[in-house]
Amino acid sequence: MGGRAVHARAGARDRYSPVQKAAGWPIDAGDAQTLAEIYTDILGISEVYAADLDAILNEQPQDEVTRRLAALKAPLWLDSGVRSVDDARRAIDLGASRVIVGLETLPSFDVLAAVCAALGPDRVAFSLDLRDGQPMVANVATLFGTQTPEEVASLAVLAGVNTLIAIDLTRVGTGRGVDANLLSRVHSATSGSQLVAGGGVREWNDLVHIAQSGCSAALVATALHDGRISAREVALAREL
């Protein structure tokens, strides 16, 4: 946000502050490139997820920061407020290896289907954006009358997606833990798709619960910043 890496907390974006440390070590406030380099070079993270909050909020996108992150050695998953096929192609042009299409900004599932057709499903991930377990939608028509996370996830798969991220913004940065029951339900509704969990990961045991829920990966930030999940645990997580 505003060119700086910020510490997300419970989706209250007006109160996000610059990240001050990574792996328990201090960094220049909000230095996104240094943060990403610590993730990859010290903690052994193999892929980096970035959300351009300015673009998501339909403000000036942070293209230069995105290009610098994309130039690093780890593939970049980018959520930049995709609302059209052109937006998705722009994310690829900036260097993203995987374009995230978030429910929060998605005008319709027809747009999601068009993005999958244009880029190929292997370059697209659908973000099932939740708030307190309920879908966040840009347009009521997006849901076609459905309301549960499982139903929304199923519609995304029908649109051509084979990778989904289930993330509850009210859990992000709070240390509340993950909703393993919800993850299990979404996994059951999208059998055969890759499911990534996000929001609330506190420690090693949360990663275990995520794996047991059928997820193949997790988004982690706060627990990497303060050192509660170590490089050794990152390596062990690949074996779950």
- Residues spanned by the domain of 134: 6-237
Residue 226, domain member (yes or no)? yes
| pLDDT score of 64 | 96
As a whole number, mean pLDDT of residues 16-28 equals 90
Q: pTM (2 decimals)?
A: 0.93
| pLDDT score of 141 | 64
Residue 123, domain member (yes or no)? yes
For residue 146, pLDDT beyond 90? no
Distance between CA atoms of residues 236 and 21, nearest Å = 23
Residue 131, domain member (yes or no)? yes
Beta-strand runs (E) in the chain: 6-7, 17-18, 21-22, 25-26, 48-51, 76-79, 98-102, 124-131, 134-135, 163-168, 194-198, 217-219
Residue 133, domain member (yes or no)? yes
> What separation in angstroms does the CA of 158 have from each of 77, 151, 161?
22, 11, 7
Residue 1, domain member (yes or no)? no
Distance between CA atoms of residues 199 and 220, nearest Å = 8
| pLDDT score of 158 | 96
Total tally of structural domains belonging to the chain: 1
Express each pLDDT in 159-187 by its tens digit: 999 999 999 988 887 777 889 999 999 99
Distance between CA atoms of residues 71 and 201, nearest Å = 27
Residue count (the chain): 240
Which CATH number fits the domain that encloses residue 56? 3.20.20.70
Residue 210, domain member (yes or no)? yes
Express each pLDDT in 52-93 by its tens digit: 999 999 999 999 999 999 999 899 999 999 999 999 999 999
Neighbours of 54 (CB within 10 A): 18
Residue 94, domain member (yes or no)? yes
